[in-house]
């Protein structure tokens, strides 16, 4: 407007701007600057030394698992240009196997993310530090594991998720990885995230050995598949404040430790229970909440021999000496496949009897031989009753040499007290140490003998009565039977050939074809050390039938179900057929021995009549109860 004031207020009033008419386009002089290139997510797939890995494929996935894009790289470099801001999982694969991954939020800026492909030497213990979430207290302390196991002769590799993401399943399942320690400590929110959980489920299915530790694993997962199939535990409570009491102190993970003490109270330790084959070996003192669960797929013959020790509290808070020993015990147990159990040949023994103590042990499927095994026997009041050696050489009560079952004999003296005795067994395994177990048995004043019926039937006129004689406090020494209260007849031997076990199966044989028609009572009993069982009575009835049709019915209640085939077996070859009248169909159903199938083998019911045909005279013998 012809004015050259420093501030042209007229222009401002007229147009609202010092630049004049805003509808006029302003054009700069010269060449405009270039626009910014679109941002990219880029980086390298490298080994542990930072060297690029050639011939890899990098894929980017949304959080829901949908694929966004992939990049094929010959030199290890990758880039994804102009992708929207979001949370992604970036995965590197080589030969169609995942070798590295990271989950991250991409803010749509130029961002370099390198993926590390980790390989480890043979005999490596992999310590996964799950530190990519939030934490309270001390967080993680991987050095507590390294310090405890560094002298066991294994290579140790520490994987920090905050630095290199989730360890791939291919690494967990590598033949070079002997054991995985999953250290969560006091981290929460993503304590074993969904990627790790899925990988660990597959790891256990494939026989993995895992030490799992962290105070909020159960809280974060509740009772999902990971807890069931990996931890083998159910979540019960958060923030249980108490020391620890052993439930199974002789388990190798505890190895005799009765109590564990925290040097400092952990922030929020989980209370759990065992499930799906897991065993609870320790709980928080004076509570109903467990805290150490073990799973042994070798003993259970499942999951390809996987083994797990799950600590539902942060180990770094334990008393340091107890913590180191506990970690060593757990690692040593996880690295081996020893399975063992202790037993005695009976639950009860009388005074002046011998107790057979047995300890069976195997390494995987192979019997473990050549080790030293001993036992200390304690009276009911806890004082020492005696010590014995257990051998696996075919002597000292051992039945089969070199079969992994070690046997020792302990004599119960006449003046010993009655009650529950405990045998504590120790086995010394080279390059491992001691394993401990126990078994209890009851000492009673005199033996107790009982008898029960196993089965009774007739075949071709011969009566078979099978009974089981049990002796508590000793072994069965003999048996006898009586027919209609006649003087007892000794039964020379049990089914296995000798009276030398606390339980024997005895068979009474009576030739019914030599008996006159009528009712009989067969009485059987067993004994040990002059003590007899009660008489066990079974009735039989003998009938002679001529060569013709007969209408017959049961007069004794059978032992178990009695079918047309049982009737035919009792009489034998003279019987041609058995008929039953079918009221519904108004016709006869026939059973012909050796011809009719199972569908025609109808039940013979008391109170109903049946036709039979005999080619020649025969005896029909029933056995049962009146």
Dihedral-angle region of residue 211 (phi above 0 means left; psi in -120 to 50 means alpha; beta otherwise) = beta
Please give the average per-residue pLDDT across 210-226, as a whole number.
97
Please give the average per-residue pLDDT across 288-313, as a whole number.
97
- Give the start-end residues of each E strand in 319-401: 338-344, 348-350, 354-363, 366-367, 372-378, 384-390
- Taking alpha carbons only, the member of 509, 527, 417 closest to residue 464 is 509
The residue range of the domain holding 151 is 118-336
CATH code at position 134 = 3.40.50.880
Task: Please tell me the predicted confidence (pLDDT) of residue 30.
Answer: 72
Same domain, 163 and 216: yes
Q: Report the C-alpha gap between 379 and 402 in whole angstroms.
A: 31
439 belongs to a structural domain: yes
Expressed in percent and rounded to 5, the helix, strand and coil fractions of the chain are 15, 45, 40
Dihedral-angle region of residue 497 (phi above 0 means left; psi in -120 to 50 means alpha; beta otherwise) = left
User: Which tokens go with 247?
Assistant: 């439930």
Task: Please tell me the predicted confidence (pLDDT) of residue 32.
Answer: 74
Contact 288, 247 (CB under 8 A): no
Same domain, 203 and 59: no
CATH code at position 78 = 2.60.40.1120
User: pLDDT at residue 159 above 90?
Assistant: yes
User: pLDDT at residue 585 above 50?
Assistant: yes
3 belongs to a structural domain: no
519 belongs to a structural domain: yes
Choose the weakest-confidence range: 98-102, 461-465, 515-519, 549-553. Answer: 98-102
Burial degree of 376 (CB within 10 A; 0-12, 13-18, 19+): middle
Same domain, 534 and 405: no
Cβ-proximal residues to 458 (8 Å cutoff; 6+ apart), any chain: 464, 512, 540, 569, 570, 621, 622, 623
Q: Report the C-alpha gap between 204 and 183 in whole angstroms.
A: 17
Please give the average per-residue pLDDT across 540-544, as a whole number.
97
Which of 270-279, 427-436, 443-452 has the highest mean predicted lDDT (pLDDT)? 270-279
Choose the weakest-confidence range: 33-42, 205-214, 384-393, 544-553. Answer: 33-42
Element (H, E) at 161: helix 161-164
Q: Report the C-alpha gap between 509 and 487 in whole angstroms.
A: 16
Collapsed DSSP state (helix, strand, coil) of residue 204: helix
Same domain, 85 and 109: yes
CATH code at position 412 = 2.60.40.1930
Collapsed DSSP state (helix, strand, coil) of residue 368: coil
Same domain, 480 and 612: no
404: DSSP letter: S
Whole-model pTM: value is 0.74
First-last CA distance in the chain: 135
Residue after which a domain boundary falls, among 116, 141, 175? 116
Same domain, 174 and 258: yes
Q: Report the C-alpha gap between 589 and 69 in whole angstroms.
A: 74
Same domain, 417 and 455: no
Residue after which a domain boundary falls, among 293, 308, 336? 336
Dihedral-angle region of residue 258 (phi above 0 means left; psi in -120 to 50 means alpha; beta otherwise) = alpha
Burial degree of 552 (CB within 10 A; 0-12, 13-18, 19+): middle
* pLDDT digit string, tens, across residues 135-151: 999 999 999 999 999 99
Same domain, 93 and 60: yes
517 belongs to a structural domain: yes
Give the number of domains in the chain.
Answer: 5
Cβ-proximal residues to 7 (8 Å cutoff; 6+ apart), any chain: 18
210 belongs to a structural domain: yes
21 belongs to a structural domain: no
Q: Report the C-alpha gap between 297 and 208 in whole angstroms.
A: 10
CATH code at position 465 = 2.60.40.10
- DSSP letters spanning 516-577: PSEEEEEEEEEEETTEEPPPEEEEEEEEEE-SSEEEE---SEESS--BHHHHHHHH-TTEEE
Same domain, 235 and 318: yes
R_g over Cα of the chain? 40
* pLDDT digit string, tens, across residues 312-338: 999 999 999 999 999 999 999 999 999
Same domain, 47 and 194: no
Residue after which a domain boundary falls, among 444, 468, 499? 444
Neighbours of 523 (CB within 10 A): 18
Element (H, E) at 282: strand 279-284
Task: Please tell me the predicted confidence (pLDDT) of residue 16.
Answer: 56
521 belongs to a structural domain: yes
Same domain, 232 and 380: no
Element (H, E) at 195: helix 194-205
User: Which tokens go with 9?
Assistant: 């207020």
Same domain, 509 and 478: yes
How far, rounded to the nearest angstrom, does the alpha carbon of residue 559 sit from its chain's CA centroid?
Answer: 39
User: Which tokens go with 42?
Assistant: 């880029």
107 belongs to a structural domain: yes
């Amino acid at each position: 407007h012809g004015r050259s004031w420093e501030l042209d207020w007229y222009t401002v009033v007229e147009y609202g701007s010092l630049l004049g008419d805003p509808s006029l386009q302003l054009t700069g002089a010269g060449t405009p600057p270039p626009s910014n290139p679109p941002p990219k997510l880029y980086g390298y797939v490298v080994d542990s030394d930072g060297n690029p890995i050639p011939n890899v494929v990098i894929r980017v996935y949304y959080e829901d698992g949908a694929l966004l894009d992939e990049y094929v790289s010959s030199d290890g470099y990758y880039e994804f240009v102009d992708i929207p801001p979001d949370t992604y999982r970036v995965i590197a694969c080589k030969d169609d196997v995942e070798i590295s991954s990271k989950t991250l939020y991409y803010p749509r800026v130029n961002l370099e993310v390198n993926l590390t492909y980790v390989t480890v030497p043979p005999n490596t213990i992999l310590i996964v530090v799950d530190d990519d979430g939030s934490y309270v207290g001390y967080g993680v302390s991987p050095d507590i594991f390294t310090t405890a196991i560094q002298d066991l002769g294994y290579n140790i590799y520490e994987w920090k998720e905050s630095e290199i993401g989730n360890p791939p399943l291919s690494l967990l399942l590598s033949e070079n990885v002997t054991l995985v320690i999953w250290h969560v400590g006091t981290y929460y929110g993503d304590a074993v995230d969904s990627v790790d959980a899925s990988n660990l489920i597959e790891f256990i299915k494939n026989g993995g050995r895992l030490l799992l530790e962290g105070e909020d694993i159960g809280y974060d997962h509740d009772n999902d598949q990971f807890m069931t199939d990996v931890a083998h535990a159910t979540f019960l409570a958060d923030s249980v404040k108490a020391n620890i009491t052993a439930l199974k102190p002789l388990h190798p993970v505890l190895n005799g430790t009765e109590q564990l003490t925290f040097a400092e109270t952990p922030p929020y330790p989980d209370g759990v229970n065992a499930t799906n084959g897991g065993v609870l070996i320790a709980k928080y003192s004076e509570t109903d909440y467990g805290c150490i669960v073990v799973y042994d797929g070798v003993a259970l013959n499942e999951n390809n021999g996987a083994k797990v020790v799950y600590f539902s509290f942060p180990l770094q808070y334990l008393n340091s000496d107890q913590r180191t020993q506990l970690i060593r015990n757990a690692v040593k147990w996880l690295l081996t496949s020893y399975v063992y159990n202790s037993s005695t040949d009976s639950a009860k023994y009388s005074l002046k009897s011998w107790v057979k103590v047995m300890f069976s042990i195997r390494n995987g499927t192979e019997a473990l031989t050549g080790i030293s095994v001993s036992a200390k026997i304690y009276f009911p009041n806890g004082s020492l009753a005696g010590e014995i050696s257990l051998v696996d050489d075919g002597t000292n009560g051992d039945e089969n040499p070199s079969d992994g079952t070690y046997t020792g004999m302990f004599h119960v003296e006449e003046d010993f007290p009655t009650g529950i005795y405990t045998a504590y067994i120790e086995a010394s395994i080279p390059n491992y140490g001691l394993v401990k177990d126990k078994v209890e048995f009851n000492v009673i004043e005199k033996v107790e003998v009982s008898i029960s019926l196993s089965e009774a039937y007739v075949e071709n006129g011969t009566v078979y009565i099978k009974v089981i004689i049990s002796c508590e406090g000793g072994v069965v020494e003999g048996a006898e039977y009586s027919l209609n209260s006649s003087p007892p007849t000794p039964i020379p031997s049990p089914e296995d050939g000798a009276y030398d076990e606390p339980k024997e199966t005895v068979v009474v044989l009576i030739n019914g074809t030599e008996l006159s028609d009528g009712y009989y009572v067969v009485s059987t009993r067993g004994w040990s050390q002059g003590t007899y069982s009660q008489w066990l009575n079974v009735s039989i009835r003998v009938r002679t039938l001529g060569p013709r049709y007969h209408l017959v019915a049961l007069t004794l209640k059978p032992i178990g179900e009695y079918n047309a085939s049982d009737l035919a077996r009792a009489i034998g070859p003279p019987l041609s057929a058995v008929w039953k009248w079918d009221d519904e169909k108004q016709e006869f159903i026939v059973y012909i021995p050796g011809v009719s199938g199972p569908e025609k083998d109808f039940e013979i019911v008391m109170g109903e009549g049946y036709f039979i045909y005999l080619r020649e005279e025969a005896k029909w013998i029933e056995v049962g109860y009146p």
